[in-house]
Amino acid sequence: MAYEFQRANLRGEDFRGKNLAGANFSHADIRGVNFSHAVLIGANFRNAKAGLPTSWAISLVALSLILSLFAGLIAAYAGAFIGNLLSSKVYGHIFFGVFSLIALAIFLIVIFWQGLGATLATLAEIIAACLIAGLAFFPENNLGGHLVIGAVFTTIALAGGMASVVNMAIAVAVGRIMALPMARAITGLMAFVGAVFGALFGVRADSSASVEAIVVAFFIAGLVALVAIASGIYVGWQAIYGDKKYQLIQALAIGIVAKKGTSFRGANLTDADFTQATLKSVDFRKAILTRTCWFQTQKLEQTRLEGTYLENPKVRQLVVTKDGVEKNFDHLNLRGLNLQDANLQDASFICTDLSEATLHKANLFGAKLAQAQLYQANLNEACLTGAYIQNWGVSTDTKLERVKCEYVYMQLPTKEDPDPCRKPDNRNESFKEGDFADFIAPIIKTLDLYQTQNVDLREVAKKFKTLDLFHYEGIDPSAAAIALTQLAENHPDAELEVVALEGRGQEKIRLQAKVAGDANRSELYNEYFQTYSQVKSLPYNDLQSLLLGVKEKDERIRSLEQLLENAIQQPKFYVETYQTQGEFIMSQSKGNISISGTQGNISGVAGAGENLSMTGVAIGAISGSVTNTINQLPDSSESDKPGIKELLTELQAAIEADTNLSDEDKAEALEQVKAIAEAGQKPEDGAMQKMVKSAIKLLKGTVADLPTTVQLVEVCGKVLPTIATFFGLA
């Protein structure tokens, strides 16, 4: 049950550790509410107002004014010490006065140049060490005593000057966060009042001092105070506006203000929505902010964000505006960001971690996603047209449904390779609806295979590129086989190799071949389809004559043609192949239909889809086809010993009679029997032997889960070794 707090006044409420998943806090007043360690998954905070209770806000305004007053007081007091040194007639004091002014000027220069950081701290330590060393070696006489006093005054002056700048900066920053009207003017006025009292208390006007000396002392005190106050105002103002040099002041001011503000510290805000919420003086430290929506939030920079991705100003601006057009986010950690509907056109995300991020409906037109990590990311309905996806990290849990994509680039362009490997290969064509998902699916499926074998995909990409040939209205196996073979012969330098076949029956077929890196894939694509169309349009008699001629010349055509014919008979299928040690291995999963027919560089087709259903008519058709193929084999020459024909007949009967196999498994097993029968025509051919080897493996896999007492298991245990011996595989 989701809690309803819409438009509620919840000031000061305590929800620590409570489960408020899905709660509605839209338009609610949550100032001062404690949500520490609460479960707020999917909570709605749209237009909510977070921040400080009124009492604490008044206290902080008072604190800002008091700090300003104190800053002016110590600034003038420090200046008075320097004035006293410069106006003194005692030997050595003028030296310390000049030294103090120079040191203070250097401190301020460092603050404006390097900020409040390590450089300033190092400089302070060096000056302090010099003063301490000087004090240690001063002689113990009147002269030495005067020098000691000068050194002490110098130390106090420098410390006071620095403290006044820091206090003034914090006062201004706190006043700015609290939206104090005319914060700089009011805090500056309070500091001026403090400076007056500091000068009056600090300047030492003894009886021996001349009027000129006293005037000099007051002038120096006022000058130092004004410079310190002005410097503090500048630093504090810049800190709140996000100047990285003054992050220390920003952190201190925000920490002070957020002490009693709304706290989400350690809360789980996964998928929470803060659209248009006011988030001033909020604590998000250690909170889980996965896919949290920050669109058009206000005052987010004035919250405690240490240890979150919001700490980075560039990331913070991106999630608030959702506008990253032409911006560079290379090598950033953007894990878990909510960029739904974001405009990221031509943005660069090279080597960026976008895992678990939501990019639903995002515009990634022309975005550079090379080597970006997108594991478990949501890119549903995103626009990827023109994106560069070289070696991007996607997986089976990356959501890519209904992606809008007309074309992509598989590599980033370089001087050496200005062609960024466009897909589709024909530059005059674009992906049709659903093409991108079909194109990318085999790549995603293959990732696990590469990873388990410790293959570096970047190295694989350098060695070859792919040519993808889409057939949208079915495919003519004979024409495709001839066109591919002709293409390989016409362009030997392209090193064309068919590596995959994927599709759904006659709906859409994709042939994928790898080619040499410098091959012009657009030209190859056009030439293939030109040849394919010419061959397909030939009259039947001319086509048969052509096939007879080329089949005798090149056995690869026959094998590829057979592969295509078998593949398009299946209602749904999917290819997943890879090569190891020169031999193509077929991956297999339960419920798939596998056709292993291999020849040359053609790997085979594995069916995809756990829910394939084969009707009795389909099984009967396959059975009849298997029987016809087996009957073409010669009978055994020995009456008392079964030959390959008799062995396959016995195996076919056992498969069809087994009640433990599903129709899908039976169809798969019968296809392997048919492949063995076809290979029986040329048992000594190396390619046929490889086909038989793959078929035997798949048959063994089919019966592996059956009880050992089943007849089919017994038949396979007896028949398969004999078949392997017949083909010289044992």
Question: What is the pairing mode between strands 508-515 and 497-504?
Answer: antiparallel
User: What gap in Å lies between CA 524 and CA 488, rounded to an integer?
Assistant: 9
Give the rounded distance of the alpha carbon of 63 from its chain centre: 44
How far is 369 from 242, CA to CA, in rounded Å? 29
pLDDT of residue 381: 92
Phi, psi of 577 (to 5 degrees): -130, 155
Residue 220 neighbours by CB under 8 Å, 6+ apart: 79, 80, 82, 83, 86, 87, 97, 101
User: Which of 306, 296, 254 minimizes the C-alpha distance to 52?
Assistant: 254
Three-class SS of residue 254?
helix
Give the pLDDT score at 242: 72
**Buried b / exposed e along 300-324 (16+ C-beta atoms within 10 A):** bbbbbbeebbbeeeebbbbbbebeb
Residue with tokens 């008072």: 62
Q: How far apart are CA 255 and CA 252, in angstroms?
A: 5
Q: What angle do CA 546, 547, 550 make, to 5 degrees?
A: 85
Q: Token digits for 195?
A: 């400076």
Rounded CA separation 234/84 (Å): 28
For the chain, the residue count is 730
pLDDT < 70: residue spans in the chain? 1-2, 88-93, 95, 117-155, 179, 204-210, 417-419, 441-464, 472-473, 499-508, 517, 540-621, 705, 730
Predicted local distance difference test score (pLDDT) of residue 146:
52
Residue pLDDT, tens place only, 467-511:
878 776 677 777 887 888 888 888 888 888 776 666 554 556 777
The candidate with the shortest Cα–Cα distance to 421, out of 503, 277, 517, is 517
How many angstroms from the chain centroid is the CA of residue 155? 52
Which residue's entry shows tokens 């396979």? 716
Tokens of 86: 């410069």
Contacts of residue 244, defined as CB under 8 A and 6 or more positions apart, other chains included, come to: 115
Give the single-character DSSP code of 4.
B
pLDDT of residue 412: 86
pLDDT score, position 380? 92
Closest to 475 in 3D by CA, of 498, 437, 499, 505:
505
CA nearest to 504, candidates 536, 465, 526, 472:
472
Q: What are phi and psi of 293, to 5 degrees?
A: -95, 125
Question: Could you give the angle at the alpha carbon of 716 between the alpha carbons of 715 and 717, nearest 5°?
Answer: 90
Which residues touch 34 (CB under 8 Å, ≥6 apart)?
13, 14, 15, 16, 262, 263
> Which amino acid is it at 308?
T
167-184 burial string, b = 16+ CB within 10 Å, else e?
bbbbbbbbbbbbebeebb
Q: Convert the pLDDT of each residue in 32-42 to its tens digit.
A: 899 999 999 99
The answer to whether 670 and 663 are in contact (CB under 8 A) is no
Q: What radius of gyration do the chain's Cα atoms show?
A: 40
